[in-house]
With several copies, the nearest count.
Chain A
Amino acid sequence: MASWFPNVIHMQSEFAQATWETVYMTLVSAIIAGVLGLATGIFLIASQPGGILEDSFIYGLLDKIVNLLRSIPFIILLAVIAPFTRYLVGTTIGTTAALVPLIIGIFPFYARQIQNALTEIDPGVIEAAQASGSSPTEIIFRVYLREGLPDIIRASILTIISLIGLTTMAGAIGSGGLGDIAISIGYARFENDVTIVAMLIILIMVFIVQFAGDWLAKRLEH
């Protein structure tokens, strides 16, 4: 053990801490970005040409915001939104401060995925709901979000895994986490065992997310 993992062995508490930080960042930003992205994706779908609330102004606006946010490199995003981050969480450094750029970095991506997923829903089913007098809100909650659920889950898996990847970059503002350990200790100091263990833990998280998501998506696909 000690000879294979010479450095890891002395870092158990750091690893526990980093794992917690990664889980914390991923979970909290996944939930908030999830809500934001879902809402944006749904508004994109609803307002698009031919959508249930067709509105070319809102569609164009959202579409452009999503693209804009997606064009900003994450490191720059960290800086650009720092004032906003400080306003929200009182600091620009640390794990909690990392949540804001993570959320803003990932939600447009998720919104796009939601949009792509919901594009697939059979227009006939939407029509059937319209014919029964459903309002746009009802159609969103009772048709889009239900009929699209397996796809929404697949998009969520993809996004959460991308988000875990993104947390590794938040080390730049002192977020900590497994990615930071892997890079700034394992990689930068040639402590390969640290890198490997950090990545294994990330891998386990990825597998858990993928497995749970696949299982859920399959279960929901009637």
Chain B
Amino acid sequence: MTENIIDLKKITVEFKDGENQVQAVKNVDLQVEKGDIYGIVGYSGAGKSTLVRVINLLQKPTAGEVHINKQDLLQLKPVELRQARTKIGMIFQHFNLMKSRTILGNVEYPLLKTKLSKSERTKRATELLKLVGLEQRKNDYPRQLSGGQKQRVAIARALANNPDILISDEATSALDPKTTLSILNLLKQLNETLGLTIVLITHEMQAVKEICNHVAVMQKGEIVERGDIEEIFSTPKKKLTQEFINIATNVGPAVEKVTENPSFQQLTQKQQLVQLNFIGQSTEQPIISTLAKQFDVDGNILFANVEQLHEETLGFMILVLTGENQNITKAIQFLKDNQVRVKLLNKVDKKEVQA
């Protein structure tokens, strides 16, 4: 399981355009283990698309090495490269469907190279279309589909050839949440049953949280942070990562809203606004109940985002603690002793938490 199916070494990609020169990717290393689901997030224009396009050499890097499935892609003969590419499915940000083929024809396309008979191809493509919920439309042409429908066709096409690796460039950004979830579940299922390795560019941190095991955060062409999903979500090191998580978990906007709300600004002497972050088993112990029973401090939840992430509980909360001053102080100390990070919000610098 620790074998790296994708191993990009010191990848640099430059675009030259007359006088302009953009370094879209700068000296990036990226290792993805077989069977992993690897998320890539970052601002628009960070170089995510460019980086993943290097994986199947659609984008030749200006410098660096590309090892996929133990093959050094840059050293392969064209025919070998094409063979290697059949095992790397790709979902494009802009769908890239063929307008002259039906939906079915588009999904069948990658199968034309295989030894499957016409009817086997149709069968396989129809199955895939069923998976993405478009079997009814199989004889329509891309022009007749809505944005999300096109994206689902692109997903089916990328899976047609039973790839080892699936590269997904915002495959769900045009989809409604329900369809997004079902596609993510589909990907997860393929990952679990067939060992499909997935590289997922997405803007939806929710999606990352949902299915990724690892995540890399890109900024201005570089991977500024990477790691286990729990690690990144619980203890982000970079400001950018923090911001992304704040927005994804909605903490950023929530803090802003709460601190801007006059009614929460006018707390009594006996009240204290706090922000709590916690991870792990800490919630095995019922915090708020404990505060109430042990310190006689009531916790009123203004904002909460608590969830189970890979067997651990990850939580953010904004509470109004009400009680005697010394009790509140004790309660906060108790929380800190239990690995809960506490931030007093009355004094908080608005800028610091704002997105």
Contact = CB atoms under 8 A, between A and B. Distances in A.
Chain A facing B: main interface SS = helix
B99 interface: yes
A146 B112 CA distance: 14
A143 interface: yes
A139 to B, nearest CB: 10
Interface in B189-246: none
Contacts of B79: 135
Contacts of A143: 98
A129 interface: yes
A68 interface: no
Contacts of B56: 131
Contact of B86 (A124, A132, A142, A222): A132
A196 B96 CA distance: 49
A142 B85 contact: no
B96 A122 contact: yes
Nearest to A132: B110
Q: Taking each of A130, A132, A146, A221, which has the highest tally of chain B beta carbons within 10 Å of its own beta carbon?
A: A132
Contacts of A128: 90, 92, 96-98, 157
B310 interface: no
Nearest to A145: B100
Contacts of B58: 127, 130-131
Q: Taking each of B78, B84, B113, which has the highest tally of chain A beta carbons within 10 Å of its own beta carbon?
A: B113
B110 A142 contact: no
B142 A222 contact: yes
B334 interface: no
Interface in A124-162: 124-125, 127-135, 138, 142-143, 146-147, 149
A129 B97 contact: no
A124 B92 CA distance: 9
Interface residues of B, number: 31
Contact of A125 (B82, B85, B98, B110): B98
A73 to B, nearest CB: 36
Contacts of A204: none
Nearest to A136: B78
Nearest to A127: B58
Given A130-B85, A132-B161, A133-B86, A125 B109 contact: no
Interface string A109-135: 000000000000010110111111111
Nearest to B110: A132
B159 to A, nearest CB: 11
Interface in A80-126: 122, 124-125
Interface string B141-157: 11110000000000001
Contacts of B142: 222
Contacts of A138: 112-113
A18 to B, nearest CB: 39
B94 A142 contact: no
A65 interface: no
A130 B96 CA distance: 12
B83 interface: yes
Nearest to A222: B141
B96 A125 contact: yes
A191 B119 CA distance: 63
A84 B109 CA distance: 43
Interface in A169-222: 220-222
A140 to B, nearest CB: 13
A51 B52 CA distance: 21
Given A127-B58, A127-B92, A222-B142, A132 B109 contact: yes
Given A127-B92, A133-B85, A135-B79, A147 B113 contact: no
B161 A147 contact: no
B88 interface: yes
A133 B112 CA distance: 11
Nearest to A143: B98
Nearest to A146: B100
Contacts of A142: 109, 112
A124 B150 CA distance: 14
A129 B109 contact: yes
Nearest to A124: B96
Contact of B96 (A127, A133, A135): A127
Interface in B71-126: 78-79, 82-86, 88-90, 92, 94, 96-102, 109-110, 112-113
Given A131-B56, A132-B85, A135-B79, A222 B143 contact: yes
Interface of B: 56, 58, 78-79, 82-86, 88-90, 92, 94, 96-102, 109-110, 112-113, 141-144, 157, 161
Interface of A: 122, 124-125, 127-135, 138, 142-143, 146-147, 149, 220-222
Given A125-B97, A147-B98, 19 more contacts: A124-B94, A125-B99, A127-B58, A128-B90, A128-B92, A131-B85, A132-B113, A132-B157, A133-B83, A133-B85, A133-B86, A133-B113, A134-B113, A135-B78, A142-B109, A149-B100, A220-B100, A222-B99, A222-B144
16 contacts: A124-B94, A128-B97, A131-B85, A131-B90, A132-B86, A132-B90, A132-B109, A132-B110, A132-B113, A133-B85, A135-B78, A138-B112, A147-B100, A221-B99, A222-B143, A222-B144
